[in-house]
Amino acid sequence: MTALSACATGGTADFDRSMATYVGQPEVRLVEGLGVPQRVHETEERRFLEYDFASASAPPSSGFSFGLGAGSFGGGRHGRGGGVGTGIGIGFPLGGSGYEPTPCLVTFEVREGRVLNFRRQGEGCG
């Protein structure tokens, strides 16, 4: 399972189940499944592989805006030519959405080439 699909499953329990499939597996399976870790920390007997995930989906938004308008314009010469106007418009956002992904850090502990366990931090795990 890839990192993005793991984050997009819809809850920390699903996320934890997905990450738990690597416990007991060889380290190479972890790297094959999640890619190269962002950081690796080593001690005499243990390795810690850290992965930075972020929630993959932004809050729902159509990306469009819709508006109605009305107005009038003044008369022409001798009080003639006045009128009233109405309009409908569609807008498109020009800037960013303002959405920032929620962080998620997952650390796997590896000993003797096998994944022993994992720990997650952050609100974006799930």
pLDDT in tens, the chain (126 residues): 444 444 444 688 999 999 999 999 999 999 999 999 999 999 988 999 999 987 555 444 545 555 555 555 555 566 566 566 666 655 555 555 565 677 899 999 999 999 999 999 988 887
3-state secondary structure of 38: coil
What is residue 70's predicted lDDT score, i.e. its pLDDT? 57
Structure token pair of residue 98? 């303002």
Instruction: State pTM to two decimals.
Output: 0.59
Helices (H), the chain: 3-7, 12-20, 27-34
> What ranges do the domains of the chain cover?
3-57+66-121
What phi and psi, each to the nearest 5 degrees, are found at residue 123? -85, -10
